[in-house]
Amino acid sequence: MNGNGQITQLHSFQGTTLHTAQWDDSINWDGKRVAVIGNGSSAIQLLSQMQKSASQITTYLRSPTWISSNHTAHFAKDGRNFPYTEEEKREFPTLRDMFEADMKKRLKNDPHLCAKLVPDWDVGCRRLTPGDGYLESLLEKNVGVEFGDIERITPKGIQNANCEKQFDIIVCATGGYGEFRRGQRVHRLQSGILNQKGVDKRLSLVVQE
């Protein structure tokens, strides 16, 4: 499975297992007990949607990450970057305080979740993850959070240091490998398939005809 991580006995699970990189739209999680492994971009996008109809969701997290509200898109229309003034650059150190305050507010200052989810490093040291609704979903009654490593997958669910929980569906939101997909065949206009010509142009966007 693409990017499923090193999870012991993953394929021993007798319920439904899927990965966010190989999503199956036919699977219905309404009224189901669902485990979501990971808290990267994919998990952040799907959790708030699954929470609305699943009977119970448990999300398994190993490390914190900065999660922002989607409130800055209008500053960079069409994905464009823009120059910063020296005055704006001097304000950069205040970003951490702003993001920390935003995350804690969205978590309603829950001391346990804030301690586990708010990073102790500066914003930008790792990829920033915008996600409206994710932090709010963690406070819902049908969502539970388990921190730390997963020990193993059992036929009926997931075992960690705290307990074993049973699930109907396990979702692996554990990253993906770009090399999982085969390279695309690139056809030249006049001289055949580029992939078969032995062209070595790593990281290039253009090659000579």
Q: Where are the domains of the chain?
A: 10-182
Would you state the pLDDT for residue 1? 46
For the segment 30-45, the average pLDDT, to the nearest whole number, is 92
pLDDT classification of 189: cutoffs 50, 70, 90: low
Higher-pLDDT residue of 87, 186 = 87
- In angstroms, the CA 70 to CA 130 distance is 6
For 88-142, give the DSSP string: HHHTGGGHHHHHHHHHHHHTTT-HHHHHHHS-SS-TTSS--EE-TTHHHHTTSTT
pLDDT digits (tens, 9 = 90+) for 111-165: 999 999 999 888 887 778 888 899 999 999 999 999 988 999 999 999 998 889 9
CB-CB contact of 117 with 66 (8 Å): no
Would you state the pLDDT for residue 72? 61
**Residue in 36, 10, 12 with CA at minimum distance from that of residue 170:** 36
Q: What is the CATH number of domain 10-182?
A: 3.50.50.60
Report the mean per-residue pLDDT for the chain: 83
Pair of tokens at residue 76: 């960079």
pTM: 0.74
